[in-house]
Amino acid sequence: MFVTDLHGSEIAYRKALNAAKMHNVDYLIIGGDITSKNIVFIERSGDKYYFNGNEVDIKTVYEDARKYGYYIYVASKDEIQKILENKEFFESVKRTLIEKQIDNWIKIAEEKLTGTNIKVFWSYGNDDPLYLDEVFSKYNIRDEGIFELEEGKTNTLYLISYGYVNPTPFKSYREEPDSTIYIKGEDYLRKIDEPERAILNFHAPPYNTKLDIAIIDGKKREHVGSRGVRDLIEKYRPLLGLHGHIIESPATDKIKNTIVVNPGSLAYEGLLKYSIIVIERKLEGLLVKYKIKGAAILSG
């Protein structure tokens, strides 16, 4: 199962864990853009709470934050002003909130997946700060690189995770030229004897596919994916491509023999979009072969 672009929505994340259990999947791959982009500052005055000068119910504020995916920071009016005026202070607050989110999400996964054999893989995206890697490392979690899906088996499947995207107008945390994405991806793929046994978990979708159609200025539709990712797929023909980033373009497509999937995201509404991929492992003579039996995009 693959889900991506959760953007801090705990409700969508919990739904993903529930769906993984319901479908009895072997692997849950969480694509990039895990963290939220937004912090809502709530002013505390005595026993009352205010947002933009209007009194709010703090319990409802936190419930909405869990659903829609934003962080809540409660402080006095003076402290909030100091945070907003000091970039370093702001980033320090954001890091603390992200660390709290990841700690909470890992605990939720441990609780919900207890008694199952579901293996979870985490990965970053362009909107995730660089220090997210350090946060994950505290839990011995790698969010980039090559992973063996079937450890201990010969001719195993490999997952290659990489979350940088080609340049965007938004100048997010992790962007780089297509040439760099290609070089990095090729370096990983060359370490695998048979690239046909690789699953590319690259946050950027391949260029000029059904997966990378962005809506520009509210109406214009344009292909904005990565040419580097497309070139990698065309040259090395991995078994499967898992992608995100362009959340308004959920689709499956095919580049030569490779199935590529972007389930899209509605996490900002507290809804779950995800993909279930069925992979057949079969022995042909002395060789183990893998085949995609089906790929569906679901919601809930």
Tokens, residue 105: 């999400």
* Residue where the block lists tokens 């963290």: 35
Residue 273 belongs to what domain range?
2-34+86-299
| Same domain? 81 vs 175 | no
* Amino acid 266: pLDDT: 98
| Same domain? 254 vs 286 | yes
* Amino acid 288: pLDDT: 86
The answer to whether 291 and 271 are in contact (CB under 8 A) is no
* Amino acid 154: pLDDT: 73
Nearest residue to 18 via CA among 100, 92, 127, 108: 108
| Same domain? 66 vs 200 | no
| Same domain? 112 vs 166 | yes
Q: What is the pTM of this model?
A: 0.96
* Amino acid 155: pLDDT: 79
Q: Tens digit of pLDDT per residue, the chain (300 long)?
A: 999 999 999 999 999 999 999 999 999 999 999 999 999 999 999 999 999 999 999 999 999 999 999 999 999 999 999 999 999 999 999 999 999 999 999 999 999 999 999 999 999 999 999 999 999 999 999 999 999 998 777 778 999 999 999 999 999 999 999 999 999 999 999 999 999 999 999 999 999 999 999 998 887 899 999 999 999 999 999 999 999 999 999 999 999 999 999 999 999 999 999 999 999 998 888 788 999 999 999 998
| Same domain? 227 vs 258 | yes
Strand 158-162 relative to strand 145-148, pairing:
antiparallel
- CATH code of the domain covering residue 24: 3.60.21.10
| Same domain? 48 vs 196 | no
| Same domain? 75 vs 117 | no
| Same domain? 60 vs 26 | no
* Amino acid 153: pLDDT: 73
| Same domain? 104 vs 179 | yes
* Amino acid 254: pLDDT: 98
Strand 258-262 relative to strand 251-255, pairing:
antiparallel
3-state secondary structure (DSSP) of residue 220: strand
| Same domain? 73 vs 157 | no
* Amino acid 285: pLDDT: 80
Beta bridge partners of 284: 287
Domains: count for the chain: 2
Tokens, residue 85: 């005026």
| Same domain? 125 vs 270 | yes
The answer to whether 189 and 152 are in contact (CB under 8 A) is no
